[in-house]
Amino acid sequence: MDNARYLECLAADFTRLRSVVPIAPSASVPTCPGWTVTDLARHVGGVYQHKIAAMREGAEPEQWPPEGLDDEDPLALLDRAYAGLLAEFAARRPEDPGGSWYAPDRTVGFWIRRMAQETVIHRIDAELGTGQRIAPVPADLAADGIDELLKVFVAYGVAEWGEYFTEVLDGSPGRSYEVRTEGAVWRVRTGPGLFTVEDGQGDRPADAVVSGPPAAVLRWVWNRQDGDPAPGLTVEGDRDAVAELKRCIVTATQ
C-alpha cells in the first residue's frame, strides 16, 4: 500500500468511527474490557495527539498525557486530534523523521501506516460496542494489518524486548505456523527467545494454520472477534501451538 491509500483508508475508518460513537457512548466495548465507547473515543483522540507530538518533537513524548487532555470532551478531542493529525501529515513528507519507536522505520510514513491500522481496529471496537454492523475492511488494508502486527509488533517486540516474552516462549519446544489469506502467506517460527516471520508458504507442514479472508484473519490476530469467529476463518492444528501464538500477540500488543 502507498501512503495515499493509507490516508484514504484512515479517512473512511475515522468517518465510520466518528459516526457510531454517539449511538451508545456509555456502552461497554467487549473487545476492550473495562472501556466504554466514550473511553474508546478518548483513547483514539489521545493516540492521534501523541503521534502529532512525536512528529513535532522528533521523538515520542516522555511526559504523557499533557495537562488538560483527559478533561476535554472526548468527541471534541477526537475531532481536534484528527484534524491536527491530517495537518501534520500534510505539512511533512512521508520520508521525513517521525520519531517512532520502531527503529527500522522512524519516518512520518510509519505513522501514516500505523494510524490507518490503529483506526480500522478501533472503529471495529466502536461498532461492536454500539451494536452496529461491522463495515467491510478492504482486503489490501486487512492484509497489510496482518503483516504489520506479525512483523512490527510481535517479531520486533520479541527481538527488542525479549524479557516481556520470557513466560510465553522460554518453554516453547519450537513451533511453526502459517497465517494465510488471499494472495499472502506468512511463515512464523517460535522458540525460546525467538519469533520470526517470513513471507511465502513453507515446504513442511506447520504446527498450526490460521486462514481465511483478509478481514477475518485481521480480526483474529487482533482479538476483535467478540465470541464467534469472523465468517470464513479457520484455525487448525495443535491447540498448544495456537495458544502460544495468541499469547505472543497479546503480549506484544498490550
pTM: 0.96
Closest of 13, 15, 14, 36 to residue 25, by C-alpha: 36
What is the rounded distance in angstroms from the CA atom of residue 11 to the CA atom of residue 17?
A: 10
Q: What residue has cell string 479457520? A: 234
CATH domain 140-253 topology:
Nonspecific Lipid-transfer Protein; Chain A (3.30.1050)
Residue 230 in this model has a pLDDT that exceeds 90: no
- CA dist 250 and 199 (Å) reads 22
Q: How far apart are the first and last CA of the chain?
A: 26
- What digits encode the pLDDT tens for the residues 54-91? 999 998 888 888 887 888 999 999 999 999 999 999 99
Sheet containing 184-191, strands listed edge to edge, beginning at the edge strand earlier in sequence: 194-199, 184-191, 175-181, 208-211, 234-237
- With 80 as the cut, is the pLDDT of residue 245 above it? yes
Give the separation between CA 159 and CA 189, rounded to whole angstroms.
13
Cell of 160: 527488542
Contacts of 138 (CB under 8 A, 6+ apart): 9
pLDDT computed for residue 66 by the predictor: 84
According to CATH, the superfamily of the domain at 3-130 is dinb family like domain (1.20.120.450)
The closest alpha carbon to 161, from 67, 251, 44, belongs to: 251
Domain locations in the chain? 3-130, 140-253
- Whether the pLDDT of residue 228 is over 80: the answer is no
Alpha-carbon gap, residue 245 to 253, rounded angstroms: 13
Least confident of 39-43, 59-63, 163-167: 59-63
Q: How many CB atoms lie within 10 A of CB 81?
A: 22
Report, as an integer, the average pLDDT of 199-220.
Answer: 94
Nearest to 82 by CA among 57, 118, 126, 109: 118
Say what the pLDDT of residue 60 is: 87
Cell of 166: 520470557
Q: Maximum CA pair distance of the chain?
A: 55
- Is the CB of residue 132 less than 8 Å from the CB of residue 125? no
